[in-house]
Amino acid sequence: MAITGLGPHGEQAVPPHHLRLTHAEAELARKCQFTVAVVLHTTSSDWSKQQIAGIVATLGEYSAAVIDVVDCGFSEAVQNSALDRLTRDTPDAIISIPIGNAAVADGHRSVSRAGVKLILLDNAPTGLLPGKDYVSVVSADNFGLGQIGAELLSPYVEEGASIGIISYGVDFFVTNQREIAFRKWMETERPDIRMRSARFIDVNLVAPVVDGVLAANADIQGLFAVWDEPAMQAVAALKSRGRQLPLTTVDLGNEAALELGSGGMIKGIGAQRPYDQGVTAAVAALQVLVGRSPPPWVASPGLSVTRRNVLEAYQLIWHSPAPQQLISARQRA
């Protein structure tokens, strides 16, 4: 699938396979035994676990040590505090996914000012520039993921009906991109559909948001959630009220994969490749540490996942066989 989204500063994406260490660079990296810290919005999601696994495995291959993995709990204040502490500890590099935008800009800017190389995941905070404040942004094609979500939901929605968009009420580049792309696809391909938006701030409080948009719009025939955790909370909210609606979302987490494979309410997923993105982020960090500048925007294409290909997609995304529960659910559906 072609990469359709642009980087934070309008950059064309460079595919991950373009990032490779030469033999000499690999030997130099192993000799230097670099240290790297990782700062994530959360470490509890399936996406995060896979991202960490890709980072750790790749850095380990080149004798680089991961000295800290920080779970910020979606808190901008916690992230700023962690970055301040880590820059004083002076690892060779920090790999971080910014939470929000302007609120964490200074915290991330301080990393490069302290002489620590900064690799960003998904997003560059407001005002930060590649080559000055950070090395590279490594991400999925989030615009493309939003398009996948729209395309997979469309067949389940009757002409002239409404759909709900469960979006993230924080200024977050990747979820903004998904929502923009979803809307643009619908406006172009399904102009008959009316779109209603509902925003959540706390990922644990999605159910009231779903209740509100459904109560205000009785004709809603489908939902799109900007990632899998709020999607599964929407599924739970619908089930508790005895309702059935088709949903699409982003990220092939275990629960979402099972709901999809069993023929449940999730009908399609735009899947990132978090393990592979972790590998790419680690290689970008190693490249700059051995003296080579990686591209400012590196993006992986999304994968369109339906019940038909969920088992193969799981293997590709997770780099492991699908769980027996998912295999059995797919066979029964």
- Determine the Cα–Cα distance for residues 250 and 271; give it in Å rounded to an integer: 6
Please, are residues 66 and 55 in contact by the beta-carbon 8 Å criterion?
Answer: yes
For the ranges 10-19, 47-56, 271-280, which has the lowest average pLDDT?
10-19
Residue 208 tokens read as 């009231």
Structure confidence by residue, pLDDT tens digits, 32-81: 999 999 999 999 999 999 999 999 999 999 999 999 999 999 999 999 99
Predicted local distance difference test score (pLDDT) of residue 218 = 87
The CATH code of the domain at 142-272+305-332 is: 3.40.50.2300
Q: Is residue 314 classed exposed, middle or buried when 0-12, 13-18 and 19+ CB atoms within 10 A define those classes?
A: buried
Residue 267 to residues 43, 231, 236, 252, 322, Cα–Cα distance (Å): 26, 11, 15, 12, 18
pTM: 0.91
Residue 255 tokens read as 């629960």
Q: Is residue 241 classed exposed, middle or buried when 0-12, 13-18 and 19+ CB atoms within 10 A define those classes?
A: exposed
Structural domain boundaries in the chain: 16-140+274-299, 142-272+305-332
Q: What is the phi/psi pair of residue 61, to 5°?
A: -60, -30
Evaluate if residue 100 carries a pLDDT over 90.
no
Handedness of CA 66, 70, 74, 77 (dihedral sign): negative
Question: How far out from the chain centre does Cα 288 lie?
Answer: 23
Predicted local distance difference test score (pLDDT) of residue 1 = 65
Percent of the chain with pLDDT over 90: 90
pLDDT higher for 332 or 195? 195
Collapsing DSSP states into helix, strand and coil, what is residue 172? Answer: coil
Structure confidence by residue, pLDDT tens digits, 177-214: 999 999 999 999 999 999 999 999 998 899 999 999 99
Confidence category of residue 8, pLDDT binned at 50, 70, 90: confident
Element (H, E) at 166: strand 162-168
Q: Do domains 16-140+274-299 and 142-272+305-332 have the same CATH topology?
A: yes
- Determine the Cα–Cα distance for residues 274 and 284; give it in Å rounded to an integer: 15
How high does pLDDT run on average in the chain?
95
Query: Which residues, 6 or more positions from 35, have their beta carbon under 8 angstroms from its beta carbon?
Result: 64, 65, 67, 91, 92, 93
Class of domain 16-140+274-299: alpha beta
Pairing of the two strands 247-250 and 93-96: unpaired
The three state secondary structure string of 75-137 is CHHHHHHHHHHHHHHCCCEEEECCCCCHHHHHHHHHHHHCCCEEEEECCCCCCCCECCCECEE
Q: What is the phi/psi pair of residue 93, to 5°?
A: -150, 155
